[in-house]
Amino acid sequence: MKPEGLPSSLSVVDRLTEEHKQQLHALYQGEWWTRGRTLEETRRVVDGSQICIGLVEPSGRLVGFTRVITDFVFKALVFDVIVAPGYRSAGLGDRLLSLVIGHERLRGVKSMELYCLPELMPFYERHGFSDDVGRVRFMRRVAEQELPQDAVAAVHQVF
C-alpha cells in the first residue's frame, strides 16, 4: 500500500519481519530512550504491541516506525516514533502519526496519548495532541532491578 503523501518508493507495513526487528533494534540504538534495548527485548516489544507501523524502502530496509498499545476503546498509547536519520524532515514523522490517528482499529478510541520532550510538543500539536490534561499527573513505578543498587538500598532503609 502506498498512502498519499508518502515518498512513492516507500511502503507501509503493519507486521515486522525478523529482519525489520533487527533494523528496528539498530534504530533503537540511536535514540536516548531506546538505546541499550537488546534484540530480544526489541522482538518482545514489537510482538507485545497491538499495532506496529513501519515505513519500508523497496530494498526492505525499515526507515520509519511507531507502535501502539491500546484497549481499542478508551486509550491508545503511542510509543517509539522514529524516522531513520537520513529520512528526517521529509514528512515521514507526520505520515507515521497520520497513519496512527487514521488507523481503522483506533478510530473509535477516546483518548490517544504519548510521552515526549518539550521541544517535540509543536510536532505533536500539529496532530491535535495537547499537554492540557487537567489535574492529571503522570506517575511511574520503576522495577527495582532497574534502579541503581544504592537507590534500592536507600529505599529499603527508609521503608
User: What is the binding site for ligand COA (CB under 6 A)?
Assistant: 31, 81-83, 88-94, 116, 119-120, 122-123
Nearest distance from C-beta of residue 150 to ligand COA, angstroms: 30
CB 36 → ligand COA: shortest distance, Å?
15
Residue 18 in contact with residue 9, Cβ under 8 Å?
Answer: no
Rounded CA gap, 110 and 123, in Å? 21
Question: Cβ closer to ligand COA: 31 or 41?
Answer: 31
Contacts of 8 (CB under 8 A, 6+ apart): 2
**Which residue number, 82 or 99, has a Cβ lying nearer to ligand COA?**
82
Spatial distance between the Cα atoms of 133 and 64, rounded to a whole number of angstroms: 28
Q: Interior CA angle at 85 toward 82 and 91, to 5°? A: 65
Looking at the Cβ atoms of 27 and 106, the one nearer to ligand COA is 27
Minimum distance from residue 3 beta carbon to ligand COA (Å): 14
- Of the two residues 91 and 109, which places its CB atom closer to ligand COA in the complex? 91
- Min dist CB 48 to ligand COA, Å, is 19
